[in-house]
Amino acid sequence: MALITLRRNLCHLSDFRLHGALNTVKNQPVNHVHKVVKEHLCPWFCSLQAEPFRVRFHHACCKKFHSENGNDLHPFGESVYSQVHDWDSFEQNFKNMDEQMFYTRLNNFTSSEEVLSFISTLQTLPDTMAAGALQRICEVGIKDDDQRLSKEILENPIFQALCVQFEQEPSNLSNTSLVTALQALTLLSVDPQSSLLLNLVTECQHRLKRGGLEVHSLCVLAESLLKLQGPGCETLDLIIHQLQGEKLEEFTPEDIVALYRILQMCTEKVDQHQTFLNKINIFSLSIVSNLNPKLISQMLMALVVLDQTQALPLVIKLGKYVVRHIPHFTNQELGKVLEAFIYFGHHDRFFITALEQHVASLYLTLDPEVVSRVMEYCSRKHILSKPILNAVAETFVCHSEKFSPSQISELIEPFGKLNYLPPNASALFKKLEDLLFTHFNSFPPKTLLKLLHSCSLIECHPVNFMARIFSPYFLQQLQGEESYLDRLSLAQLTQLLLTSILECPFYKGPKLLPKYQVQSFLTPCCSLETPVDFQLYKSVMMGLIDLLGARLYFASKVLTPYYYTIDVEIKLDEEGFVLPFTFDEDVHKRVALCIDGPKRFCLNSKHLLGKEAIKQRHLRLLGYQVVQIPYYEIEMIKSRLELVEYLQRKLFSQNAGVHW
């Protein structure tokens, strides 16, 4: 193992074959060191400098020396290094420091300055740990999304010494040090053609062709090359081929997840690697219990990107362990987990309970993206979770300014879809109305339409905005560059028009033009109604035939003039007699049977979805006698005779004058 010597007076010890990092710097003119690092890390290094600068060393022992050009050395970053003890207190050799302790301390640092300060106190540094230090410097030193280190870090002699050492003697590095150093530099916007990276990559390729890299190094190298050269990298195929030849039992859980990440970045090659993926999916079942929250979220996300719908047993098992880790996920990791569960359609009551507890306890501190993802999950799976919905409603009232227009829509829509008004509904929709008045034009047209339509489902009618959305200008914006408006938008506009007529008779503004109105809310792809459950419909139809005496006395799937489709319609004359469905004259009352299967309710509940609630509400306002036949009542019936008696009670108990 190569040792990077960090103290000048140890550079010539016979025990160390490699010159130390600072020794390397010491034996070169200052301008040369600056030139080497500048050349290796260009162009991003150069762009940080307004003018040439001179390297000035500051080290725990450097104050005792003079610079080679005769100038005094001045402390660099005095405030940062003020906590560094005198070197005399660190006379023990680095070998006496436990390796685990080193990495523990390294991972506790939150800035590059802290890392540099720490390693500057060490006597010697093994190359593996030097690579780990370089990686930590890059991880914590990147500012914002710029992927650049600050000028102060780049000018630091310790950082420069590390770069020079790795560039000059890559052949003397261990496999771990080599790939770790390469991985560290890929975190930055380093020129792929820089000599530093080229030397490291060349040495990696040389060892790869010799078959000298173990599993972990192969995984790290593959991810680094993907970042540097993309999925078209020729070396990548050789790495994957070598990984396929290894026994999965010898992979650590971290390496298995790394395999998923590698294949995730090569989606265009998924088909040719599917057999290998199937083996990984099966083997991964045995390591799920050893995964931490970060690895679980990464594995789930990779399964989504790779479209591994056949790996549902793995998703289900991951879901069980997600429940245990929910309090420990970062916002970003939890968002990935929810996205994966939405994709695979996974849910269970234990996960929902844990999610409720997490959201309810941290709702005021959750990231807006996570809040919108939680609401999307509830919406997609029709999960009526009152603790989550109440907490999110309170979050929006308190921190509405944190949410973008799309996030606001994702947050509000589930209330309409799940047909639920939270306890603070008045404050919630008042806040929403104020935001819409202020930022109406900031909302994309389709997002705005979905948002307002969702409000109407739960009788929070957007009367103050109907004139705007029915206007030709908004409809033109809604259409955009397309030659026509999509079917769903037209259906939502039509239902809002019907709402304005039936539930808001005081609205006297513009109406939706007939050419924008649909003829039916029930369509194959983008329906505002849920199709009737066939098996449930078949059972009810047989009972009606026994009750009414013939199929002639009721009609099925009737499209009304008001765009809704009725599951079963029964016509009554003025005296209450049931008429054949072919009769259109002397019809005094129409009975609409809503045969509601499980898909018309929220998950595992007896609570109607918003689109079914508004349908029944509108049918009543249109004069229909609505009779609901829910699946959970039919399931309790054990015989055909019981079914007939049940239908008789449902249809005629409130109409004593009805005859058949």
Q: pLDDT band for position 394 (50/70/90)?
A: very high
Give the C-alpha distances (Å, rounded to integers) separating 331 from 293, 300, 328, 334, 341. Answer: 11, 15, 9, 5, 15
Give residue 643's pLDDT. Answer: 95
Round to whole Å and give the CA distance between 409 and 446.
Answer: 10
Nearest to 18 by CA among 132, 177, 214, 201: 177
Considering the domain architecture, whether residues 336 and 365 belong to the same structural domain is answered as no
1 pLDDT above the threshold of 90: no
Residue 331 token pair? 């916002």
Residue type, 446: K
Nearest to 94 by CA among 62, 127, 64: 127
Quickly tell me which residue has 């880790």 as its tokens: 325
Residue 413 lies in a domain: yes
Considering the domain architecture, whether residues 103 and 149 belong to the same structural domain is answered as yes
148 pLDDT above the threshold of 80: no
Residue 310 token pair? 């056949």
Considering the domain architecture, whether residues 283 and 336 belong to the same structural domain is answered as yes
Q: Are strands 3-5 and 555-559 parallel, antiparallel or unpaired?
A: unpaired
Residue 473 lies in a domain: yes
Nearest to 82 by CA among 56, 46, 117, 53: 117
Round to whole Å and give the CA distance between 643 and 636.
Answer: 10
Quickly tell me which residue has 């947050």 as its tokens: 411
Q: pLDDT band for position 144 (50/70/90)?
A: low
Residue 455 lies in a domain: yes
Average pLDDT estimate for 474-502: 92
Average per-residue pLDDT for the chain: 82
Considering the domain architecture, whether residues 335 and 367 belong to the same structural domain is answered as no
2 pLDDT above the threshold of 70: no
Neighbours of 118 (CB within 10 A): 19
Residue 217 lies in a domain: no
Round to whole Å and give the CA distance between 579 and 594.
Answer: 19
Round to whole Å and give the CA distance between 44 and 150.
Answer: 11
Lowest-confidence segment of 144-153, 180-189, 263-272, 510-519 by average pLDDT: 144-153
Q: Which residue has the higher pLDDT, 517 or 97?
A: 517
Considering the domain architecture, whether residues 159 and 240 belong to the same structural domain is answered as no
Residue 525 lies in a domain: no
Residue 54 lies in a domain: yes
243 pLDDT above the threshold of 60: yes
Strand, coil or helix: 593 = strand
Full residue range of the structural domain in which residue 376 is found: 361-516
Alpha helices in 329-418 (DSSP H): 331-344, 349-362, 368-380, 386-399, 405-417
Give the C-alpha distances (Å, rounded to integers) separating 243 from 180, 213, 308, 350. Answer: 18, 10, 20, 37
Q: pLDDT band for position 41 (50/70/90)?
A: low
601 pLDDT above the threshold of 80: yes
Round to whole Å and give the CA distance between 387 and 394.
Answer: 11
Lowest-confidence segment of 99-113, 361-375, 554-568 by average pLDDT: 99-113
Considering the domain architecture, whether residues 382 and 458 belong to the same structural domain is answered as yes
Q: pLDDT band for position 655 (50/70/90)?
A: low
pLDDT per position as a tens digit, 603-619: 999 999 999 999 999 99
Considering the domain architecture, whether residues 503 and 401 belong to the same structural domain is answered as yes
Q: The domain spanning residue 642 has which CATH number?
A: 3.40.960
239 pLDDT above the threshold of 50: yes
Among 212, 245, 261, which residue terminates a domain?
Answer: 212
Nearest to 609 by CA among 348, 379, 330: 379
Among 298, 313, 346, which residue terminates a domain?
Answer: 346
Among 212, 241, 275, which residue terminates a domain?
Answer: 212
pLDDT per position as a tens digit, 283-320: 999 999 999 999 999 999 999 999 999 999 999 999 99
Q: How many domains does one find in the chain?
A: 4
Average pLDDT estimate for 105-122: 84
CB within 8 A of 386, min separation 6: which ones?
A: 420, 422
Considering the domain architecture, whether residues 89 and 154 belong to the same structural domain is answered as yes
Considering the domain architecture, whether residues 546 and 642 belong to the same structural domain is answered as yes
Give residue 147's pLDDT. Answer: 65
Round to whole Å and give the CA distance between 54 and 291.
Answer: 47
Q: Which residue has the higher pLDDT, 75 or 256?
A: 256
pLDDT per position as a tens digit, 525-558: 778 999 999 999 999 999 999 999 999 999 999 9
Q: pLDDT band for position 271 (50/70/90)?
A: confident
Residue 527 lies in a domain: no
Q: Which residue has the higher pLDDT, 484 or 636?
A: 636
Strand, coil or helix: 5 = strand
> Backbone dihedral region of 77: left (phi > 0), alpha (psi from -120 to 50 degrees) or beta?
left
Considering the domain architecture, whether residues 46 and 147 belong to the same structural domain is answered as yes
Lowest-confidence segment of 46-60, 96-110, 286-300, 315-329 by average pLDDT: 46-60
Residue 562 token pair? 């008001």
246 pLDDT above the threshold of 60: yes
Considering the domain architecture, whether residues 455 and 329 belong to the same structural domain is answered as no
Residue 627 lies in a domain: yes
CB–CB of 115/140 below 8 Å? Answer: yes
62 pLDDT above the threshold of 90: no
Lowest-confidence segment of 21-30, 251-260, 573-582, 587-596 by average pLDDT: 21-30
Round to whole Å and give the CA distance between 164 and 18.
Answer: 12
Task: Report CA Rg, the chain.
Answer: 34
Residue 383 token pair? 């999960």
Tell me what percent of the residues of the chain surpass a pLDDT of 90: 56
Give residue 641's pLDDT. Answer: 94
Cα atoms in the Cβ-side hemisphere of radius 13 Å centred on 541:
14
Considering the domain architecture, whether residues 333 and 454 belong to the same structural domain is answered as no
CB within 8 A of 14, min separation 6: which ones?
A: none
